[in-house]
Structure 1
């Protein structure tokens, strides 16, 4: 029977995470599985706990949202340790990309019965973060500002926090000039953002890169050019369905590595947590992580 270690961050969505874990834990133990729970006090600590559990041959469960999922999954990238998810966060975008269920019995069934499958991860390098590995996407521009606002939105959660964060970010945004180098080919771009996506979803269910696949060894690089603010808000609404990519203001490139630079200090983010400034280089790591889904 499988042995699990659940990594929980008690400072981020504690009540939601604990409730989600409680229901799944009961079902895992009733099925005969071994489950231990460890609590982290930071994402770095979560990475350390995940590595230690993995070295002991245990399946590591990330309990929470995209922040702890990215931290734990990134720490296990390049190892033989298997990752499982108990979605309990604000966005749960990587869980959404894996098409994971949310009901406790269905989550437990995946963890007990699914066979590990390889998925890609993203190596992120910048002056601030010498090397970080994340799972979902790297985004540089107005969405990084919006995510910062969403992370400090108080009692607001989920889509409401991201929508309010987006409104605040767009209101104060002026177009940036980007230099985007994909597999050695340079592209210039003036606008709102550049997103390097492994998972198609970010920002609590917004389908930024509809054609992204977590196991194809490629990044979908989405560029949103400058447009009037009213048009940008319309485009934001289209992110729910992914139809924004049909607009002439949106371009999509594909490659294994992208370097993003800009003409001024522009923030970038990754998996809802990593926050720094350009330039940044993102490189896909094909099949580097084994996950249950």
Structure 2
């Protein structure tokens, strides 16, 4: 029987996370599994707790949304520790990419009986982050600015906060001149954003890279070029289905190492939490994380 350590960040959606864990914990214990809970003070503290639990041979559970999921999964990348999730955030994009169930019974079944799967992770390197590892994507441009606004929103939650953040970001955005280097090959364009995607989803269920796979050893690099603002709003709506990739303003290439630069200070983000400015390098770490799914 598996032994679990659940890591919860009480400062970020703590009540929702605690409620989700309570339901799953009851089912795990009824099945005879051992579960201990650790409450972190911050995401760095959550990573530390996760590494300690992994070293003890326990299955480490991230309880919450993509921020804590990416932080804990990144901390366990390359360690051989087994990782599980109790999705309880506003996005849950990495859990969605894995096809994890959203109900407590389904989550408990996966944690008790799921087969470990090796998935890729992303190493992020910049002047601010030296070798930080995340799970879903690295994005630089109007979406990173929109995420900043969403994270700071006190009135809205979930998809509504992302939509409101996007509207605010787009209304003030000026096209950026990007230089993207993918495995040594340069791509230059003026536009809205670039996304180096391991997961097909980001920004609360938007299919930014519909053909991305978590275990192919590659990142899907989505580049969105300059377009009239009304057309960009139409493109945003198509993110729900992934139809945007057929637009002539959108180009998708694949690679193992991506360097993103711009002609001015442009924000970038990763898994909804990392916030800094370009330049940044994203490098895939093939099969680096063992996850229950």
- TM-score, normalized by length of structure 1? 0.99
Alignment of 1:41-80 (within 5 A): 41-80=41-80
Structure 1 stretches of 4+ with a deviation exceeding 2 A read none
- Alpha-carbon separation, structure 1, partners of 2:54 and 2:156: 34
Q: Deviations over 1:27-55 (max 9, x none)?
A: 00000000000000110000000000000
- Alpha-carbon separation, structure 2, partners of 1:113 and 1:261: 44
Q: Deviations over 1:238-275 (max 9, x none)?
A: 00000000000000010001000000000000000000
2:105 aligns with 105
2:147 aligns with 147
Structure 1 residue 95 corresponds to structure 2 residue 95: yes
Determine helix, strand or coil for the equivalent of 2:130. coil
Alignment of 1:1-293 (within 5 A): 1-293=1-293
Judge which range, 155-164 or 167-176, deviates more.
155-164
Q: Deviations over 1:210-235 (max 9, x none)?
A: 00000000000000000011110110
- Alpha-carbon separation, structure 1, partners of 2:191 and 2:80: 41
User: How much has 1:156 moved relative to structure 2?
Assistant: 1.3
Determine helix, strand or coil for the equivalent of 1:70. helix
- Alpha-carbon separation, structure 2, partners of 1:131 and 1:141: 21
Q: How many residues align?
A: 293
Cα-Cα RMSD: 0.5
- Alpha-carbon separation, structure 2, partners of 1:215 and 1:131: 20
User: How much has 1:159 moved relative to structure 2?
Assistant: 0.8
User: How much has 1:92 moved relative to structure 2?
Assistant: 0.4
User: How much has 1:158 moved relative to structure 2?
Assistant: 1.2
Structure 2: tracts of 5 or more residues without a match: none
- Alpha-carbon separation, structure 2, partners of 1:90 and 1:156: 11
- Alpha-carbon separation, structure 1, partners of 2:131 and 2:268: 15
User: How much has 1:157 moved relative to structure 2?
Assistant: 1.2
- Alpha-carbon separation, structure 2, partners of 1:254 and 1:65: 27
User: How much has 1:131 moved relative to structure 2?
Assistant: 1.4
- Alpha-carbon separation, structure 2, partners of 1:130 and 1:282: 11
- Alpha-carbon separation, structure 2, partners of 1:131 and 1:123: 6
- TM-score, normalized by length of structure 2? 0.99
